[in-house]
Amino acid sequence: MLSVKNTTIVKTIASQLGFDFCGIAKAEQMQAEARQLEKWLNKDYQGKMTYMENHFDKRVDPTKLVPGAKSVISLLYNYHTTKKQTDEHAPKISTYAYGKDYHFVIKDKLKLFFYEIQQQIGEVHGRVFVDSAPVLDKHWAKRAGLGWIGKHSNLINKKKGSYFFIAELIVDLDLETDGPIKDYCGTCTRCIDACPTDAIVEPYVVNGSKCISYLTIELKEAIPKEFKHSMDNWMFGCDVCQAVCPWNRFAENHQEPLFEPHPELLKMKANEWEELTQEIFNELFKKSAVKRTKYSGLKRNLLFLNSKKQKPNSNIQIPNSDNKNSNENEINY
């Protein structure tokens, strides 16, 4: 069958481009996920991420994004590293943001992916996505059999854990689909127990407005004082729920040179972060995902972590950012 042949071509290209896993789901309206998203929004778990309320129909129906869509190709790209910041007292940054912004790295690969599909199969129409449009990427990856969504709301792959970026191609091409796999979280509650801000309000449900990733990246206002003693010294993002997950014992180091951190980044000491200047910020985070929060935003976070040394009523805020992308690899319902 032609669909079988084309599916083999698609998965071969994905492997050649360095994607760790590739799965395919039928492009159709996501009814169960729509009800779940609506319930999550009604509880205001999106906090100030009002863009999560927009384009609801597009989030749950890929044919609204790509007319005539037949298949959703989901891809996982590893970003795991065992490299750590050398000063244990230094404010922490999520490992996904160590290197070059994944939006740029993966988008380039997706464009090449789509080009190769057209070269090898013929006329195919569609779009590529990497956390840059109203697409429920974790749910599509689940439908494509790439893993299950854990109690911390991140996708977990049985072979290599959860340290992955997720990307999609939505195309008008008939392909063989992969069925979803079962949930292997079992009775484990390590992520729930370890969350510093108790953001995982129940298994599989995260109150995004309490997540440290939200507080340090998405929130543009002053960080609420209630989190003063529960930030666990994170200045950008948070890795706690993934770090404690037993399935990440299978995680392997990434093979992407562009994800390597700036040589000086991991060496920075606590006092050097306190004295961070705009010039050093620009050098450390050139083309980095950290630039989303801007220098003023990172300084706000650093001052909040050091709030015992600051005036108690400090109201430092992050100016509005033009970047509306959400890091859905960390925050979702």
User: Is the CB of residue 66 less than 8 Å from the CB of residue 170?
Assistant: yes
User: Is the CB of residue 19 less than 8 Å from the CB of residue 109?
Assistant: yes
Tell me the β-bridge partners of 134: none
Cα-only R_g, the chain: 20
| pLDDT on residue 331 | 52
pLDDT tens across 273-297, in order? 999 999 999 999 999 999 999 999 9
What SS3 state is found at 155? strand
Q: Where are the alpha helices (DSSP H) in 244-321?
A: 270-274, 278-284, 294-305
Among 131, 137, 178, 239, which one carries the catalytic annotation?
131
At what angle are helices 102-121 and 2-16 packed, to 10 degrees? Answer: 140
Exposure letters 290-310 (e unless 16+ CB within 10 A, then b) = bbbbbbebbbbbbbbbebeee
Has residue 173 got a pLDDT over 60?
A: yes
Instruction: Using DSSP bridges, classify how beta strands 200-202 and 205-206 pair: parallel, antiparallel or unpaired.
Output: antiparallel
pLDDT tens across 178-208, in order? 989 999 999 999 999 999 999 999 999 999 9
Listing DSSP states for 76-132 in one string gives EEE-------S-TTSPEE-GGGSSB-HHHHHHHHHHHHHHHHHHHH----EEEESSS
Confidence of residue 98 (pLDDT cuts 50, 70, 90): very high
Has residue 42 got a pLDDT over 90?
A: yes
Answer yes or no: 131 catalytic.
Answer: yes
Q: How many CB atoms lie within 10 A of CB 21?
A: 23
Cα–Cα distances (Å) from 267 to 43, 88, 193, 301, in that order, read 41, 10, 30, 19
Cα–Cα distances (Å) from 314 to 234, 271, 294, in that order, read 19, 20, 19
pTM as predicted: 0.91
Q: Where are the alpha helices (DSSP H) in the chain?
A: 2-16, 31-42, 56-60, 102-121, 137-143, 190-194, 212-213, 240-243, 270-274, 278-284, 294-305
| Span 233-237, average pLDDT | 98
DSSP state of 72: E
